[in-house]
Structure 1
Amino acid sequence: MRMKRGMYVSNKECTMKIKTLLLGAVACAALAPAAFAERGKDGNVSIIYWQAPSILNPFLSGGTKDIEASSLVLEPLARYDDKGEMVPFLAEEVPTIANGGVSEDLTTITWKIKPGLLWSDGTPVTSADVKFTAEYCMHPEGGCAQLSFFDGVQTIDTPDDLTVKVTFNQPKPNPYGPFVGGQSPIIQKAQFENCLGSKAPECTQQNFNPVGTGPFKVVEFKPNDVITLEANTNYRDPDKPAFATVTFKGGGDATGAARAVFETGEFDYAWNLQLAPDVIAKMEAGGKGKAITGFGPLVERIEVNLTDPSPSLDADTRSTRKAPHPFLSDIRVRQALSMAIDRELLVEVGYGQAGKPTCDLVPVPDNYAAKNDFCFKQDIEGANKLLDEAGWVKGADGVRAKDGVRLSILYQTSTNAVRQDFQALIKDWWTEIGVETELRNVSASVFFGGDPGSPDTFQKFYADVEMYANTFNGTDPQQYLAAYRCGQEPKPESQWQGENINRFCDPAYDALIDELARTGDIAKRGEIAIKMNNMLTKDSHTIIGLVHRGRVSGQSNTLGGHVLNVWDSELWDAANWFRKQGS
């Protein structure tokens, strides 16, 4: 379907206003009033992410902690604001059909870079950097954690130093994948040009100290510990950032991070306070800070491994579907695992008002949300009956087996009080249906770190099931759902980067990825996305949805200029942060 002229509308009071039937969103980013008039005048700001960043290259990590830490330094051409609306960052404007940036046949999008932009090392930002970024991620011998953002890209041309033209292999009604959002920023060609393909993870200096265009630049990065940053003297706004330095502390736990903001005042901002609501409320009484919350598309879920994770197999076999899982390949087992879970209790124990039961991978926006409720009622009796009918028989030890294969699960997740509570409850429920469960938790810094040499990352998935949450940028789940394309699993040849974590593969699903990419009608896009969601959840139980989580972070009472963003990096507006007067 072709987009019609006049679909997008400009507004003088906004940086950009986009009204589109295709994406179902209206974008309007008002120019924020300056809360300060001098770069660096407010000294230091302290941030704590209890899941410590392990790399500052979002193309080599799917971990939110790494993507968000990187966003202080690396920026995209456009990103999403706190309402989920697209706004230009390094680009002059968001390309549309109305302004000539998107072709009438929807096969190209042309970006214009703001003139005069400099990298933090003082060199000009050019279209060559943008083109190189795509080449870096799309390199056939490399492994890019954000490859789905470049799905369908055929060529990238640079007619001049400030123009980038992306051509797709079919009409793209939603062409805002490459270079949009915190997961798809621009990296400097001069710094990374010798880091293509298999060399990418070997470039330690580049991956730990990227040259960027953001408000801050790296002074020192200690992986899984502390990042020291300072104001970027070449940042495009001469009055920003207000803070001269940033101390970005990683590690510890959510309780310690919350206490550091709410009670001691040692830190100004604490991310992802995955704590029981009563714990947060008690800490807020300390008077130093407040909890800020918002619901986006974040889902806590269990990913089911469709491959055999046995350590007796070589890495290549364990990473692909060459060896199907000995019992999780049985859909009835996967369904029974889901049926045994009491999601209402999980919400009550872990999140309170900041959580909702979900069966889905994509819970919002409404147009793309299936709103399934098939999993809301726990059914231990039904799960037992299903396994009986499938021939899985309980032995003397209470554990089911069939043809010599026991239902014995290694269940892993990151180390966190709420997640360990979830593990304990789910283990008990699975015991009731004859499934033996071993619990394992890994430091979040390692689990989400993406180190190709570590056996403990969520990408390698050396377990039977694993639990975590992630999200997508913006209000359109196209790239998010495209991650489950056949062949995009993490594997040795991709340096264990990849988004298809459970190694799901269905040609019919791949066909829907392509159909969604070329469909413009908003209602039809929703129908396709819901069908894809259901294929992963309701129809196959490959992904077991648990909780639609609100984001909860802690902010000091003295920190101004921040607006919580659940549609992009939470640190998206760090250039606007300032110390409140009199604080």
Structure 2
Amino acid sequence: MKMKTLLLGAAACFAMAPAAMAERGEDGNVNIIYWQAPSIMNPFLSGGTKDIEAASLVIEPLGRYDPTGALVPFLAEEIPTVENGGVSEDLTSITWKIKAGLKWSDGTDFTAEDVKFTGDYCMNPEGGCAQLAKFTGVEVIEVIDPLTVKVTFGAPTPNPYGPFMGGQSPILQKAQFENCTGAAASTCTDQNFAPIGTGPFVVKDFRPNDVISLEANPNYRDPAKPAFATVNFKGGGDANAAGRAVMETGEFDYAWNLQLAPDVLAQMAKGGKGVAVAAFGTLVERIEMNMTDPSPELPEGERATVAHPHPILSDFNVRKALSMAIDRELLVEIGYGQAGRATCNLVPAPDLYASESNTDCLVQDIDGAKALLEGAGWTDTDGDGIRDKDGMKLSLLYQSSTNAVRQDFQALIKDWWSQIGVETELRNVDSSVFFGGDAGSPDTFQKFYADVEMYANNFDGTDPQSYLSMYRCGNEPKPSSQWQGENINRFCNEEYDALLDELAKTGELGKRGEIAKRLNDIITKETMTIVPLVDRGRVSAHSNSLGGVALNTWDSELWNVADWYRID
């Protein structure tokens, strides 16, 4: 049957070079720096990459994606497929076999009960799970025996690898979190800051937005790993300081996400203490348009909710004009050099899913943007250089996280928008706060108390189904979900949702590619709800003395930290 096509090569293996290690912890300490500081160690309560990746040191999924994008087992014996009997012939279920003898870091047994609990935890409608799209279509999760768990979908699901695959969907310990479900999820500080895990390290001290101290898990499944006894995970600062700390001063061993201009990186590399590593995946720097009204004049419970459409950005012509005014090639040149490519796509890779027809935005058109606004009734009635319509000024608040490249982008885009008659106020927020999951903060990217905001993220693995499903109607952050949710701009489109349903039941790869491209084009070209800017290569750096690093753009960068070791 055609729907099996997606599953045939799913169990490909990735072989790591063996590290010369004799016993656990013999290489002492490793220093990691993420200039976006983690604020929580529970990825189900944060959509921030820095939180997901920090958590991956401790809690793990059943399977991961390797640097080639192939699926590899972690806590599972193998990746279930139709061929090995793990995926049902009718594609309505996937059955995972768990490795025997796995222990949580507290010494208790890891079982299928923990897997089922994690799925139910995320799917609880009152919990505000940030990774809910991973569980799209799941009808029930059943424990077959202590080492077997079955996920059943409501319809044939050719891509059943959403739940429990990749760093965004790890397993929580039932015993630790069973009193932290639903509305109580965000109140369990001890659990969310220091989850018990199966990963190579254990949290000893967690200081939100600052430092995490970890030590080797005494019950890790490989007695020779990890090579490092302790981890000092420093958060905060900026990308420049993080890069220098590895490549110039040698103070740290690994620096993540060096979002720096190419000449800055080249100068750092001359320090001789470390090297930059880079790889392209699906990381897209983009502008999100807020489809709801973020005005502080609205009551707190209604601000930036679907009850109040945006008074300016609800006009498609405004959204399109804002995109037309941007020179993406110049943004690439000043921000990323060879580590960036101008794009109009939310999904830039793999080629199967990347729209070839969505290229109109690649050429800046200031005059066309002016004409579009003029034709839509946005004119400068009082001669102050700012367009208006029906008494409302074309004035926008544009926010992003604090980062030199992003602030350069903001300044350029503000200038281009001023040329078409748009007034822009710029705001930048500390990245640890902006990408945090604090429901009480007014400054998170999920709450979106601005008109437009800029950031980048990507998805686990090579299939974009879960990623595109984030923008389903009803999946928006809102008070009832503790301001968690993946539909950041509150987009809602019936055709889009219908195509998501079709994608979920389509197995033939060519057809899946066609649907995914159509979904991409709806949200980026036909509605301009998301305005992609740059397809970013992931750039990080590691010290010359750190071995075992395998940069992975398809999963957590720390996916194989158990294999890291010290080079003499």
TM-score using structure 2 length: 0.98
Q: Which one of 267, 289, 292 corresponds to residue 277 of structure 2?
A: 292
Give the equivalent residue in structure 2 for 1:8: none
2 CA distance for matches of 1:343 and 1:123? Answer: 53
Give the equivalent residue in structure 2 for 1:227: 212
Give the equivalent residue in structure 1 for 2:417: 430
Whether 1:485 aligns to 2:461 is no
Give the equivalent residue in structure 2 for 1:404: 391
Q: Which one of 55, 60, 68 corresponds to residue 53 of structure 2?
A: 68
Give the equivalent residue in structure 2 for 1:339: 324
Q: Give the conservation status (yes or no) of the 8 Å contact 1:226–1:249.
A: yes
2 CA distance for matches of 1:22 and 1:380? Answer: 46
Give the equivalent residue in structure 1 for 2:115: 130
Deviation per CA, 1:477-510, whole angstroms, max 9, x where unpaired? 0000000000000011100110000000011111
SS at match of 1:228: strand
Q: Which one of 27, 30, 41 corresponds to residue 15 of structure 2?
A: 30
Give the equivalent residue in structure 2 for 1:547: 534
Partner AA of 1:217 in structure 2 = V
2 CA distance for matches of 1:319 and 1:121? Answer: 42
Whether 1:277 aligns to 2:262 is yes
Q: Give the conservation status (yes or no) of the 8 Å contact 2:159–2:507.
A: yes
SS at match of 2:485: coil
Q: Which one of 496, 499, 515 corresponds to residue 512 of structure 1?
A: 499
> Structure 1 residues 22, 319: closer, same or farther in 2, change over 3 A?
farther
Give the equivalent residue in structure 2 for 1:392: 378
Following superposition, the deviation at residue 29 of structure 1 comes to 1.8
Whether 1:195 aligns to 2:180 is yes
Which ranges in structure 1 are unaligned for 5 or more consecutive residues?
Answer: 5-19
SS at match of 1:30: coil
Give the equivalent residue in structure 1 for 2:26: 41
2 CA distance for matches of 1:150 and 1:536? Answer: 22
Partner AA of 1:85 in structure 2 = A
1 CA distance for matches of 2:275 and 2:519? Answer: 38
Q: Give the conservation status (yes or no) of the 8 Å contact 1:472–1:567.
A: yes
Q: Give the conservation status (yes or no) of the 8 Å contact 1:270–1:554.
A: yes
1 CA distance for matches of 2:25 and 2:478? Answer: 44
Question: Is the deviation greater in 246-255 or in 390-399?
Answer: 390-399
Following superposition, the deviation at residue 61 of structure 1 comes to 0.2
Give the equivalent residue in structure 2 for 1:476: 463
Which ranges in structure 2 are unaligned for 5 or more consecutive residues?
Answer: none
Q: Which one of 308, 327, 335 corresponds to residue 323 of structure 1?
A: 308
SS at match of 2:61: coil
Q: Give the conservation status (yes or no) of the 8 Å contact 1:327–1:333.
A: yes
SS at match of 1:316: coil
Whether 1:578 aligns to 2:565 is yes
Partner AA of 1:502 in structure 2 = N
Deviation per CA, 1:377-415, whole angstroms, max 9, x where unpaired? 100000000000000001321100000111100000000
Partner AA of 2:459 in structure 1 = F
2 CA distance for matches of 1:23 and 1:430? Answer: 48
Give the equivalent residue in structure 1 for 2:436: 449
Q: Give the conservation status (yes or no) of the 8 Å contact 1:319–1:489.
A: no
2 CA distance for matches of 1:314 and 1:79? Answer: 43
Deviation per CA, 1:324-350, whole angstroms, max 9, x where unpaired? 100100000000000000000000000
Whether 1:413 aligns to 2:397 is no
1 CA distance for matches of 2:375 and 2:463? Answer: 40
Q: Which one of 163, 167, 179 corresponds to residue 152 of structure 2?
A: 167
2 CA distance for matches of 1:570 and 1:324? Answer: 38
Q: Give the conservation status (yes or no) of the 8 Å contact 1:195–1:202.
A: yes
Partner AA of 1:383 in structure 2 = A
Partner AA of 1:523 in structure 2 = G
2 CA distance for matches of 1:439 and 1:151? Answer: 36
Q: Which one of 220, 242, 249 corresponds to residue 227 of structure 2?
A: 242
Following superposition, the deviation at residue 23 of structure 1 comes to 7.9
1 CA distance for matches of 2:9 and 2:483? Answer: 35
- Percentage of identical aligned residues: 72
SS at match of 1:375: helix
Give the equivalent residue in structure 2 for 1:11: none
Give the equivalent residue in structure 1 for 2:445: 458
2 CA distance for matches of 1:536 and 1:31? Answer: 38
Following superposition, the deviation at residue 32 of structure 1 comes to 4.0
Q: Give the conservation status (yes or no) of the 8 Å contact 1:72–1:215.
A: yes
Give the equivalent residue in structure 1 for 2:363: 377
Partner AA of 2:467 in structure 1 = Y
2 CA distance for matches of 1:385 and 1:36? Answer: 66
Deviation per CA, 1:300-333, whole angstroms, max 9, x where unpaired? 0000000000011123322322111001000000
Following superposition, the deviation at residue 141 of structure 1 comes to 1.3
Give the equivalent residue in structure 2 for 1:57: 42
Give the equivalent residue in structure 2 for 1:10: none
Following superposition, the deviation at residue 31 of structure 1 comes to 5.5
Following superposition, the deviation at residue 568 of structure 1 comes to 0.2
Partner AA of 2:67 in structure 1 = D
Q: Which consecutive segments of 4 or more residues in structure 1 shift more than 6 A?
A: 23-26
Whether 1:567 aligns to 2:554 is yes
Deviation per CA, 1:398-436, whole angstroms, max 9, x where unpaired? 100000111100000000000000000000000000000
Partner AA of 2:549 in structure 1 = H
TM-score using structure 1 length: 0.96
State the Cα RMSD in Å.
1.1
Q: Give the conservation status (yes or no) of the 8 Å contact 1:319–1:490.
A: no
Following superposition, the deviation at residue 30 of structure 1 comes to 2.2
Whether 1:362 aligns to 2:352 is no
> Structure 1 residues 158, 309: closer, same or farther in 2, change over 3 A?
same
2 CA distance for matches of 1:410 and 1:479? Answer: 30
Q: Which one of 169, 186, 193 corresponds to residue 184 of structure 1?
A: 169
Partner AA of 1:517 in structure 2 = A
Q: Give the conservation status (yes or no) of the 8 Å contact 2:19–2:565.
A: no
1 CA distance for matches of 2:76 and 2:86? Answer: 11
Partner AA of 1:386 in structure 2 = L
SS at match of 1:167: strand
Q: Give the conservation status (yes or no) of the 8 Å contact 1:149–1:184.
A: yes
SS at match of 1:315: coil
Q: Give the conservation status (yes or no) of the 8 Å contact 1:369–1:530.
A: yes
Q: Give the conservation status (yes or no) of the 8 Å contact 2:289–2:313.
A: yes
Whether 1:204 aligns to 2:189 is yes
Give the equivalent residue in structure 1 for 2:253: 268
1 CA distance for matches of 2:7 and 2:172? Answer: 29
Give the equivalent residue in structure 2 for 1:17: none
Following superposition, the deviation at residue 140 of structure 1 comes to 1.6
Q: Give the conservation status (yes or no) of the 8 Å contact 2:117–2:174.
A: yes
SS at match of 1:575: helix
Counterparts of 1:108-147 in structure 2, within 5 Å, are 108-147=93-132
